[in-house]
Structure 1
Amino acid sequence: MNRSVLVLATTGVLGALSGNAHAQTSLTLYGIVDAGVVYERGAAAGNVTKLTGGTQSGSRLGFKGIEDLGGGLSAKFALEAGFNEDTGTLGQGGRLFGRQAWAGLGGRWGDLTFGRQHTPHFLLLDQVDPFGTGLAGASTNLMATVTRTDNTIKYSSPAWSGLSGELAYGLGEVPGDTTANRQLGASIGYAGGPLVLKVAHQRVENAIGTDSTRNTLVGGRFDFGMAAASLGVGLNRGTGAAESRDYMLGVTVPVGAGALLASWIRKDDRSAFNADADQWAVGYTYALSRRTNLYTSFARINNDPGAAYTVGNASEAGTGNRAFNFGIRHKF
């Protein structure tokens, strides 16, 4: 992410206070402010036009810190608050640091972090989606995922010749039952040069620790230079007989100072309802600078009988089966 950085680096004084002359601490302030106009059509309650915060990317204010502990070991943390600049309210249901809140240790062996964190499954979907799980073409309109989990212990490995992986365990914190409400996630794959190819899995136990939701995603992206192609296949199992398949094809084409985005997503519902749906989406982003860009996008969902999927964006679920949006995003 391009951002302006506020860094506080201390050496001598902190070293004397900590007893480590080589200790160094840095603090980074960063964020995104995103505002767009959204036209939603096809809702049962009627069409709506609104100003929305976080259309391409959820608006946020974040703090990251790292301290060198010596011997290749470091302490680190992240606190990230989501907000809606159209109303000035907090996002994520009013949580103070609803996007991220974790602390941990890092080294040559990887990172071990504790707190509210993104799931490996969502991180892969965001990586291969041409729309980055934002704008009207967000893959999350149809593709099942769990964005982030509370009470999570996560291990992220370093990359070895492009290969890396993650393991995540979210504690359910139910007295007398270690399986109730817990979540488990993992991913493994390759990212190097023009190629990204990974598989990720997320399992969510219910309140009594029996039935669960299981989502598996195989995702890939290859940059040919003149264009980048994306592919995603999701396998989903819910409680009871609920089952579905997700398929995504996407392309990103650099055009001048911007990029043309397009994707097709198919929801194949394999339950008794057979409530299938397709989404077609196109968009364009134009860079005014390294930190600021304009955007526009349109998406339409064709729902089969029994399906009621809506076109949302990075911060909203949407109300209708069609949406058009345009706006501006600034990173700092």
Structure 2
Amino acid sequence: MKKTLILAGVLSAFAMSAHAQSSVTLYGSLDAGIAYANNAAGHSAWLQNSGGLSYNYFGLRGAEDLGGGLKAIFKLESGFNLNNGRFNQNNTIFNRQAYVGLQSDQFGTVTLGRQYDSVVDYLAPLSLEGAGPGANLAGHPFDNDNLSSTFSLNNAVKYSSANYAGFEFGGLYSFSNTPGDFANGRAWSVGGKYSYGPLNVAAAYTQQNNNNPNAINSAGATAGNTNIQARLQRTFGVGANYAFGPAAVGFVWTHAQIDGLGGLSSGGVALGGINSGLNLHLDNFELNGAYHLTPALAMIGSYTYTDGTVSGTSGGNQSPKWHTVVLGTDYSLSKRTDVYLAGVYQHASGYLGDADGAPVANVAAINTLPASSTNNQIAATVGLRHRF
């Protein structure tokens, strides 16, 4: 009897120890509001907005302590539309991230599965659309540089270093998984960041290849993004952010080189009249800032100038441009719940390709909203966000 009690106690202690060495966490973000756009696909519109500041998602992440500073980790993350409950990106359940890997305190982390590229990991946090307060509406036209994390990469192997005196770096390779055509649909990315007190700097590069110009977002490995269809896309950029007292200012420059264009969309609506096969090169210059009036009340804003060049048209090179201004305020009701008000103005100029030899005028295209039918677009949203 005594031995039985001792054995039961040992097994119970072992079970509690094993439980303490591993963990699984449910987390996510819910963001909904009411939005107004003066011109969305040719009409003014009042909309129930899903994800005005940050995307709606839920996920599971876990870790098991293997000893010696080594852990087994995983993450399963699903983005969805809060208005109708549908999964984003072709109804793929784990459309944002789905990976498993090993994490070492000394050597860094290796993961395999569906993952974000280095632009999202290192550069996006320095932009308004990728920062903590966030503002998806501040994304650059068509999210051409993925700073708003519109897409992630399939079949990806990623390495992320440990923190070495403030310096971190990493890279990713996304296999095409196409038998007999290794290069068709592959992607790769590298990046790094350095933090020293209030100063943060970062740089990143991503390249996606595909022989099919109608492939979603350039590479077959990137299933899910309907904003850009092209044969080749290269994205690189640098950024910096500096915090002083209750304020922070940042600057981000990105260059998106989109070759063999197959189509452009905004807010799920395709832009018509653009011939395929064009080359679209875009430079985004973003100045952003945030100021905490009180610990609970913050003001956010940004100005982005996007300068583009279209080549391959019968009319020669053309120069589409966009000016985007974002202002917003965010009030925290608690550590997990906040309310917000944000407004966006965008002005477009130049031409965005041609159709049968006739120039196609550029149009305003605020991120996440259907593009305007003119060169101006104004939108505003008020909403509630809860994180868990």
Q: 2: distance between equivalents of 1:243 and 1:45?
A: 26
**Is it true that 1:214 corresponds to 2:214 in the alignment?**
no
Higher RCO structure, 1 or 2 (CA under 8 Å, sep 6+): 1
After TM superposition, give the deviation of residue 28 of structure 1 in Å.
Answer: 0.6
**Is it true that 1:305 corresponds to 2:350 in the alignment?**
yes
Pick the structure with greater CA Rg: 2
Instruction: After the TM superposition, list the runs of 4 or more consecutive aligned residues in structure 1 that deviate by more than 6 angstroms.
Output: none
Q: So what's the TM-score if we normalise by structure 2?
A: 0.76
Secondary structure at the counterpart of residue 89 of structure 1: coil
Secondary structure at the counterpart of residue 299 of structure 2: strand
Work out whether residues 218 and 232 of structure 1, in 8 Å CA contact, stay in contact via their aligned partners in 2: yes
Mapping of residues 1-332 of structure 1, within 5 Å: 12-13=14-15, 24-107=21-104, 108-132=106-130, 134-135=134-135, 137-141=137-141, 144-146=144-146, 147=149, 148-207=152-211, 212-239=232-259, 241-256=279-294, 257-271=296-310, 272-306=317-351, 307-312=362-367, 316-320=368-372, 321-332=377-388
Indicate how the Cα distance of structure 1 residues 67 and 280 shifts in structure 2: closer, same or farther if over 3 A, else same. Answer: same
After TM superposition, give the deviation of residue 171 of structure 1 in Å.
Answer: 0.6
Work out whether residues 104 and 111 of structure 1, in 8 Å CA contact, stay in contact via their aligned partners in 2: yes
Q: 1: distance between equivalents of 2:27 and 2:13?
A: 23
Q: 2: distance between equivalents of 1:308 and 1:123?
A: 30
Indicate how the Cα distance of structure 1 residues 182 and 84 shifts in structure 2: closer, same or farther if over 3 A, else same. Answer: same
After TM superposition, give the deviation of residue 126 of structure 1 in Å.
Answer: 2.7
Work out whether residues 36 and 47 of structure 2, in 8 Å CA contact, stay in contact via their aligned partners in 1: yes
Q: 2: distance between equivalents of 1:23 and 1:72?
A: 15
Percent identity for Structure 1 against Structure 2: 29
- Backbone CA RMSD of aligned residues: 2.2
Q: 81-90 or 122-131, which moves further after superposition?
A: 122-131
Secondary structure at the counterpart of residue 177 of structure 2: coil
Q: 1: distance between equivalents of 2:280 and 2:31?
A: 36
After TM superposition, give the deviation of residue 270 of structure 1 in Å.
Answer: 2.6
Q: 2: distance between equivalents of 1:11 and 1:309?
A: 63
Indicate how the Cα distance of structure 1 residues 301 and 174 shifts in structure 2: closer, same or farther if over 3 A, else same. Answer: same
After TM superposition, give the deviation of residue 142 of structure 1 in Å.
Answer: 5.9
Q: So what's the TM-score if we normalise by structure 1?
A: 0.88
Give the unaligned 5+ runs of structure 1.
1-9, 16-20
Work out whether residues 213 and 236 of structure 1, in 8 Å CA contact, stay in contact via their aligned partners in 2: yes
Q: How many residues matched?
A: 315
Secondary structure at the counterpart of residue 130 of structure 2: coil
Q: 170-179 or 158-167, which moves further after superposition?
A: 170-179
After TM superposition, give the deviation of residue 211 of structure 1 in Å.
Answer: 5.6
- Cα distance per residue 1:65-105 (max 9 Å; x no partner): 10111122111000011122211222232111111111001
Indicate how the Cα distance of structure 1 residues 211 and 39 shifts in structure 2: closer, same or farther if over 3 A, else same. Answer: closer
After TM superposition, give the deviation of residue 143 of structure 1 in Å.
Answer: 5.3
Q: 2: distance between equivalents of 1:11 and 1:120?
A: 42
Work out whether residues 69 and 75 of structure 1, in 8 Å CA contact, stay in contact via their aligned partners in 2: yes
Give the unaligned 5+ runs of structure 2.
1-11, 213-218, 220-229, 261-278, 311-316, 352-361
